[in-house]
Amino acid sequence: MKNKLSTGGLVYSTEAGRMCPVCRQPVAQCVCKQATAVPAGDGVVRVSRETKGRGGKAVTLVKGVALDSQVLAALGKQLKAACGSGGTVKDGVIEIQGDHMEKVMTSLKAQGHTVKRAGG
């Protein structure tokens, strides 16, 4: 039998919007978000191109960026705007639609990241 706290509890409130399942506060006022750890990495951002599972269409992947989720989403938005295409941020990986490896690498280098080309 699961206890009441392990099931997550309140997720959305019409009064406050999205709720944090840990501290049960509105996401904007969440007190536990400061405790989220930055993913560990070796300090090298790896940029690669992938087509598997995407119907033959190329996607540029950016892995190894040691930033928290909100800053990573903002970086993804900047890279998408620099490339002029769409994309998403999933599980700490920035995906940009199309083959934009050179644009992404120059943009990341300009921001002070150590960048390596990964894959073929």
pLDDT tens digits, one per residue of 66-77: 877 888 888 899
Laid out side by side, the sheet with 59-63 consists of 87-90, 93-97, 59-63, 44-50, 114-117
Res. 1: pLDDT tops 50: no
Poorest-confidence range of 1-5, 18-22, 25-29, 47-51? Answer: 1-5
> What are the extents of the domains in the chain?
4-35, 44-117
Q: Within a 10 A sphere around the Cβ of 56, how many other Cβ atoms?
A: 7
The pLDDT of residue 84 is 92
Amino acid at 56: G
Q: What percent of the chain has pLDDT over 90?
A: 18
Q: What three-state secondary structure class fits 13? A: strand
Predicted TM-score of the model (pTM):
0.65
Of residues 32 and 105, more confidently modeled:
105
pLDDT tens sequence across 87-116: 988 888 899 999 999 999 998 888 888 888
Nearest to 44 by CA among 59, 71, 66, 28: 66
Determine the CATH number of domain 44-117: 3.30.780.10
Torsion of CA 44, 63, 57, 87, to 10 degrees: -120
The pLDDT of residue 9 is 67
Res. 36: pLDDT tops 70: no
